[in-house]
Structure 1
Amino acid sequence: MNIKDLENLRDGQEVAELTGWVDNIRDHGGLTFVDLRDFTGLIQLVFDKSGDVDTKLKNEFYISINGSFKKRDATLINDKILFGDYEIEVTDLKIINQSKTLPFQIEDSIETDENIRLKYRYLDLRRQPMKVNIMTRSNTFKSIRSIMNQLNIFEIDTPTLIKSTPEGAKDFLVPSRKSPSNFYALPQSPQMYKQLFMMSGFPNYYQIAKCYRDEDSRKDRQPEFTQLDLEFSDASPELVKLKVEEIVKFVFSDAYDCKIKTPFNTLTYEEAINLYGTDKPDMRIEETIFDITDIFTQTSINFLNDILSSQGSIKALYTKELLTRKQIDDLDSEIKDLGSNGLGWFKIEDTTISGPLAKLLSDNEQSKLLSYGSGTLLFQAGNIKEIANYLDLIRRTVFQPLNNDVYSFVWIEDFPFFEVEDGKLQPSHHPFTSPKSNEIFKDDPTNATALHYDLVLNGVELGSGSQRINNPEIQTLVLEKWGLSKEEISDRFGWFIEALSYGTPVHAGFAIGIDRLIAEVLNQPSIRDVIPFPKTQSGLDPLTNAPANIEEEVLEEYNLKYINKDE
């Protein structure tokens, strides 16, 4: 019997073998009150003093009781819990298991170091907020499978021991005892296998997939994560986006009891950067970046002149709030930490303009700035790609969403095919993404656009997708432009290019980060709070102490040995 089953009882009926954890003990003279908690709820137990219950029980003891289900006195009703108008007068108590002294209290709100919570995750998960998080995760999976069945999309699993191929992050490698000196890799995504399903003649595919990336420590990243993986044959980006919108709309309604509007808005990558300073804009914030270059075309401010003569521009954000000097200094410090030379600003009060550059303004420049009215104008000057992230930080710091309870989705598309990282070309999505124009890609890959689309929710990238390359020659060319030699292409991707050579249909897909989706819906500060057993930011598991050393005898079976083990 569980606590929720008590709904079926009437006043005075007997309760038999109700089990749960002791949540709280209160001694009130001749009576002892104990709150009993299980997965389904909480109810008050009443003991008389003859049994010395207050000395026998402690918090988190697991007990079983028999008793009588009684309606509380009207003055003692607790409206905050499901059975706050009832209690159980206990006639028989059995202690099933005791508990050690707790490392932290099982309460809704606790101030405990996260590493302690992760070390005792089985206790942390007893707390009601964590239970809500994990049940929301379960309901998300149920809803996904429900809509996939309705859409007749096939759930197909893919291997988790695969060949190592470069996809951006580092692979987790798995040695093979039967093939000494050779390694499997854990998949960063099921990318190539889901494409193989389309080559195999399947019309579609989905999988709730575990993915693994051995990334450097980054905020709110996990070495293993869960994504909803999708692929469709004979599909364009438009078709995939329609399917994704249908899936997301259903999951929000079914799992989260929330209605969202479709179709979602769409921005090009260039529009997003120019208006919001990022390809992950929070559309709940109305204010956008605008260009004030024309105000300073004849300026006597030397550094602005230098930037404009180098084809740079001046981008600004305006707030009617008269920011304090401390607010401005704090913002200046934050963007300098990102690499900016500093925050440009003018404070406008009636007919007066103040700021470190105010005395250098011409009459014409002053007149144009005064037209904005009282407030603070914040700006950055330079190449938009270089100053965009500073403007994004300014926008997110100065302005707040009009409504935090709104879910604002936006598609970002027309990404550059390549990005330059450390002087090398890197695909902005992955090397299996199709160029928007094969001809432009062949002639000038650095200016080519990709058939790549991201879905952003409230400033968080929820997922990414693309139309895939289905031509072996184009696939080979992309890998060559990426910097791989013919030998490397043959060794790492030869089997995949071979598969493309047998009448591969046009196909496209998408993947949604489920951990991030749930964290955003539940307004959780970290995805670790919605994953049952997560790792720390540095990839450690305080619960099991993984990763751990392996005995040298075991390593020898894999033809491996430690080098400088003590380091």
Structure 2
Amino acid sequence: MAESMVGIKRSHRCTEVTTANIGQDVTVMGWVQKSRNKGGIIFVDLRDRSGILQIIFEESDCGAENFAKAEKLRSEFVIAVTGRVEARSGAVNPNLATGAIEVRAKSMRVLSESETPPFPIEENSKTKEELRLKYRFLDLRRPDLQRNMMVRSRVATLTRAFLADEGFLEIETPTLIKSTPEGARDYLVPSRVHPGSFYALPQSPQLFKQLLMCSGYDRYFQIARCYRDEDLRADRQPEFTQIDMELSFVDVDEVLDVNERLLQKLFKEICDYDLPLPLPRMTWQEAMDRFGSDKPDLRFGMELQDVSDVVKGCEFAVFKNALENGGSVRGINAEGQGHMPRKKIDALVEYAKGFGAKGLAYVAINEDGSLKSSFAKFMTEEEMGALVAAMGGKPGDLLLFAADRNKVVYDVLGNLRLELARQLDLLKKDDFKFLWVTEFPLLEYSEEEGRFVAMHHPFTMPMDEDLQYIDSDPGRVRAKAYDIVLNGVEMGGGSVRIHQGDVQSKMFEVLGFTPERANDQFGFLLEAFKYGVPPHAGLAYGFDRMVMLMVGADSIRDVIAFPKVKDASCLMTEAPTPVDPAQLKELGIEVAETEEE
């Protein structure tokens, strides 16, 4: 039977009880982690969000009634215990914050009983994730998840305090907004008052924060909920949180400076890591050439080498055809991996094919300096020697080459170096390697749509010196855009925004918008631009990703209280679900039946 809390009050959380409290009476409340009856003495591990405290029940201290209740305790019962703090009678437990003490119970109330949970509440649970997410309210009791959620809360608090000190104002922007289908898919919300019309949920507060700059607020931030109806991956959710900011009267350097100091503060407070400033910067082109990725992982080497000039005269058809078609030949050196068995190399070839490679050429350098290669017979000895030298190859190394269009070569080798780093265990989670990637292309050509699309969004400022090419060579124009990358993960990104109406109109024109369409979608922003706009720039972090990297979690699901799974459903609440036909009727919506295949 559950008892009430009337007349008692918690004095401490479990790990707030310390050796300083020895001899004092305390009242603690929490969940039974486990209970052990040693005949005449019952040991109970009591758990709350702070940790675990050992409670001892002996009939001579707590009386027959309390002892009888203690005998019936099972895991996850919720109890309140009043007792005296003592030095631990048995061996001290160095793994527990409270390992030097225990509480000798004088009285106890069972506040709530529990059925046997479907899985044990323990750190690093081996239980299948599907089952844990179905019972997420139980999963969230696990100490490791609770620590993650507490870190998340602390990051938010520290961010708010830091940005407030830097003169930022926290302002909420709407979550029922106009749909602007440029970019990822919107989640739509039907309007009952305006039949046939829909709101969208925001993918980011982008337009509103620019309007706040037009309104003179100077420095804005928000910890904002955002929504994207896109296919999910381990580090994506349909709803997510951004630390979002915008600043007026600044250029790239000022935005990067304030954010570097924010990151330095957060990583010192949360991870006790001293982040040296300024952070390194690398242009997008250099990142692609050296790492095959615009979010390079700098924790290990294995950089890409362009050997196109070295092999341009050779007769190996794979290299020859790639160069004749305007592509390149590049390689990576997996140092010390020359002994890799053929089976493993074949597995790497298959992995590379997943990123568009037709195959991989390789050279294994034996310890005696002789070569084992998939293409040596098509090359002269001098050509092979020059290729190995260009790659810095030494006895014991494995050289891997891709030859194709640049985009494919970057993709293949960029992912291959990461796969090798995983296999060779080179990725240490507490080795924080930060990088700003700058000067992104403003536009990228979409084969699908047959036009240029914005690489970030249509409000990004071109670099002043490249504006002259916007009509003649749009692909050449670089943007005043920047991403903050940590250990191969894009943690945030932003740009200087266009603040001149004529440049914004030109950008829409290059993106294939008619003036009517631009006005239909973004008329309110263009209207605001007629009334005095300050130069402005901003940045947004993926808050979930940031916390994931800080705590060393493998997935953002481990740092979100109630996450969705791959198909954007919630296993616990079973959302999304069909709704009452009466609700649909009121909204003027009819659901079309689709035939099952």
The TM-score bracket by the shorter chain reads: over 0.9
Check 1:135–1:424 CA distance in 2 against 1; reply closer, same or farther (3 A cut): same
- What letter is aligned with 1:417? L
Q: In structure 2, give the amino acid aligned to 1:45.
A: I
1:19 is paired with a residue whose SS is strand
Range moving further from structure 2, 194-203 or 355-364: 355-364
Q: Is the 8 A contact 1:32 1:53 kept in 2?
A: no
Matched AA of 1:134: M
Q: Output the amino acid matched with 1:269.
A: W
The alpha carbon displacement at 1:47 in A equals: 2.1
1:451 to 472, 477, 480: 480
Task: Select between 365-374 and 174-183 the one with higher mean Cα deviation.
Answer: 365-374
Q: d(CA) in 2 for partners of 1:98 and 1:230?
A: 47
1:214 aligns with 2:229: yes
Selected match of 2:394 from 355, 373, 378: 373
Structure 1, unmatched stretches of 5+, are none
Matches within 5 A, 1:283-322: 283-318=298-333, 319-322=335-338
Provide structure 2 residue ranges, at least 5 long, that are not aligned to the other structure.
1-10
Matched ranges for 1:484-499 at <5 A: 484-499=513-528
Residue number in structure 1 paired with 2:573 = 544
Q: Distance in 1 between matches of 2:384 and 2:402?
A: 18
Secondary structure of the structure 2 residue equivalent to 1:504? coil
Quick one: distance in 1 between partners of 2:221 and 2:312?
Answer: 54
1:62-84 per-residue CA deviation (whole Å, 9 max, x = no partner) reads 011222322222x4221211221
1:69 corresponds to 2:58: no
Q: Sort the Cα spacing of 1:566 and 1:96 in 2 relative to 1 into closer, same or farther, 3 A.
A: farther
**Whole-angstrom distance in 2 between the partners of 1:485 and 1:79:** 70
Q: Report the TM-score when normalising by structure 2.
A: 0.91
Residue 405 of structure 2 is matched in structure 1 by 383
1:283–1:458 contact (8 Å) kept in structure 2: yes
Distance in structure 2 (CA, Å) of the matches to 1:295 and 1:565: 58
| Equivalent of 2:355 in 316, 328, 338 | 338
Q: CA deviation at 1:294?
A: 3.0
CA shift for structure 1 position 55 = 4.7
CA distance in 2, matches of 1:507, 1:103: 53
1:122 aligns with 2:137: yes
Tell whether 2:379 aligns with 1:361. yes
Q: Give yes or no for contact 1:167–1:188 (8 Å, CA) kept in 2.
A: no
Q: Aligned runs of 1:20-99 on 2, under 5 Å?
A: 20-48=30-58, 51-53=67-69, 55-73=71-89, 75-99=90-114
Q: Which amino acid aligns with 2:325?
A: S
2:225 and 2:242 in contact (8 A); partners too: yes
Please give the secondary structure, in 2, of the residue aligned with 1:76. coil
**Which residue is equivalent to 1:408?**
433
Deviations 1:448-502 (A, max 9, x none): 1111111111100011111111122222222232222333222111121111111
Of 438, 442, 450, the residue aligned with 1:417 is: 442
Alignment of 1:457-476 (within 5 A): 457-476=486-505
The question of whether the paired residues in 2 share the 8 Å contact of 1:426 and 1:482 is answered with yes
Deviations 1:279-333 (A, max 9, x none): 0100111231112223322212122222222332211111232122122111111
1:489 is matched by which residue type in structure 2? A
Query: In structure 1, what is the Cα distance between the partners aligned to 2:501 and 2:402?
Result: 44
Q: How does 1:153-302 map to 2 (within 5 A)?
A: 153-302=168-317
2:315 touches 2:379 (CA, 8 Å); kept in 1?
Answer: yes
Q: Residue in 2 aligned with 1:393? A: 415
Q: How far, CA to CA, are the matches of 1:186 and 1:199 in structure 2?
A: 23
Query: Aligned partners of 1:486, 1:467: CA distance in 2, in Å?
Result: 23
Moved more, 401-410 or 263-272: 401-410
Could you say which residue in structure 1 is the equivalent of 2:6? none
The structure-2 alpha-carbon separation of the partners of 1:173 and 1:368, relative to structure 1 and needing over 3 Å to count, comes to: same
Trace 1:421-432 onto structure 2 (pairs within 5 A): 421=446, 422=448, 423-432=450-459
Partners of 1:530 and 1:252 in 2: how far apart?
Answer: 17
Structure 1 distance, partners of 2:570, 2:152, is: 21
Q: Secondary structure at the match of 2:32?
A: strand
Do the aligned partners of 1:9 and 1:69 also contact (CA within 8 Å) in 2? no
The C-alpha deviation readout for 1:479-533, integer Å capped at 9, x for no partner, is 2322223332221111211111112121111111111011011111101100111
Q: Distance in 2 between matches of 1:10 and 1:415?
A: 59
Query: Quick one: which amino acid aligns to residue 522 of structure 2?
Result: F
- Residues 46-102 of structure 1, C-alpha deviations (whole Å, 9 max, x = no match): 2237634565111000011222322222x4221211221222222322111001120
Q: Match of 2:170, SS?
A: coil
How has the CA–CA distance of structure 1 residues 115 and 167 changed in structure 2, closer, same or farther, with 3 Å as cutoff?
Answer: farther
Indicate which of 538, 563, 567 corresponds to 2:592.
563
1:13 equivalenced with 2:24 (yes/no): yes
Q: How many angstroms apart in 1 are the aligned matches of 2:16 and 2:551?
A: 28
Alpha-carbon distance in structure 2 between the residues aligned to 1:427 and 1:43 = 56
Measured at CA, do residues 486 and 11 of structure 1 come closer, stay the same or move farther in structure 2, by a change above 3 Å? closer
1:347 to 355, 360, 364: 364
- Aligned-pair identity (%): 38
Q: Which residue of 2 aligns with 1:136?
A: 151
- Measured in 2, the distance between the counterparts of 1:529 and 1:402 equals 19
C-alpha distance in structure 2 between counterparts of 1:39 and 1:377, whole Å: 51
- Structure 1 CA distance, aligned partners of 2:330 and 2:541? 33
Q: TM-score, normalised by structure 1?
A: 0.96
Q: Which moved more, 1:295-304 or 1:266-275?
A: 295-304
In 1: Cα distance, 2:162 partner to 2:243 partner = 12
| 1:325 matches 2:342 | yes
Q: What is the alpha-carbon root mean square deviation over aligned residues?
A: 1.9
Residue identity opposite 1:518 in structure 2:
V
Aligned residues: 565
Distance 1:252 1:521 in 2: 8
Query: Given residue 29 of structure 1, which amino acid in structure 2 is its aligned partner?
Result: G
Please tell me whether the aligned partners of residues 353 and 370 of structure 1 are also in contact (alpha carbons under 8 angstroms): no
What displacement does 1:439 show?
A: 2.3
Map of 1:104 onto structure 2: 119
AA paired with 2:56?
V
- Decide whether the 8 Å contact of 1:171 with 1:186 is kept in 2: yes
Check 1:453–1:60 CA distance in 2 against 1; reply closer, same or farther (3 A cut): same
Contact 1:286 1:401 (8 Å CA) reproduced: no
